[in-house]
Amino acid sequence: MEIKLIDRTGDPNGTLLIALSVCRHKQGTMAVLKNSIKAGHTSLLEHVSFTFYVEGISRRCLEQQGRHRIGVSPTVESQRAVDMSDFLSHTPEDIANDVCRFAVFHHAVEAARRGYKQLVDMGINREDAAYLLPEACYTTEVLTMNGRAIRHFYTLRADGAAQAEIQEMANRIRELVEPICPVIFHGFV
């Protein structure tokens, strides 16, 4: 998985302080902003956004990400426009670390790859042949999230109960955003 920050609100902290000042009718400070966020006034965070280039996430991870639609705007690689005959795929660690499990998984992925290619070679359009592709299939996206959506996404998806791949995604997003706008994660360890 590779995630790059490709665009953002120019001065997110300044933008948040302006929004806070409008809300309170007086000059805002970072301390007051942090207290407001901690108290649950996270709508302020909707005024800043971050855009990421995300490569090498599975369609399974993408499906989980898709549950976070408010304040999140994805543009995803099209399986209609792209030939997926040579797709790469994600293998979960508990499968990759066991020879027998990996053999079953690999066999199924290869069968899907062969079936997809055979259907396309028979004249079936890629969009319909893509029904055979596994959720393990890697994809690429451009993803824009506002600060509130990032905070919510991180809260749910960095949790130890989430799948490892989406935990990794949430943690990488935090690594990219926190140095620029730490208030988004205020109150988290």
Q: What is the pLDDT of residues 95-129, one digit of tens each?
A: 999 999 999 999 999 999 999 999 999 999 999 99
Element (H, E) at 22: helix 12-24
Task: Provide the mean pLDDT of the chain.
Answer: 95
| Amino acid of residue 129 | A
pTM surpassing 0.95?
A: no
Co-location of 72 and 141 in the same domain: yes
Q: Report if residue 85 sits inside a domain.
A: no
**Shared-domain flag, residues 115 and 49:** no
* Paired strand residues for 146: 49
Q: Do β-strands 138-146 and 72-76 pair in parallel, antiparallel, or remain unpaired?
A: antiparallel
* Backbone angles phi and psi of 88, in degrees to 5: -95, 160
Q: How many domains does the chain have?
A: 2
For the residues 78-83, what does the mean pLDDT come to? 92
Active site residues: 157
CA distance 174 to 185: 8
Answer whether residue 87 is part of any domain.
Answer: no
The answer on 147 and 61 residing in a single domain is yes
The domain in which residue 119 lies consists of: 93-132
Query: d(Cα 58, Cα 72) in Å, to the nearest integer?
Result: 18
Mean pLDDT, rounded, for 137-145: 97
- Determine the Cα–Cα distance for residues 17 and 21; give it in Å rounded to an integer: 6
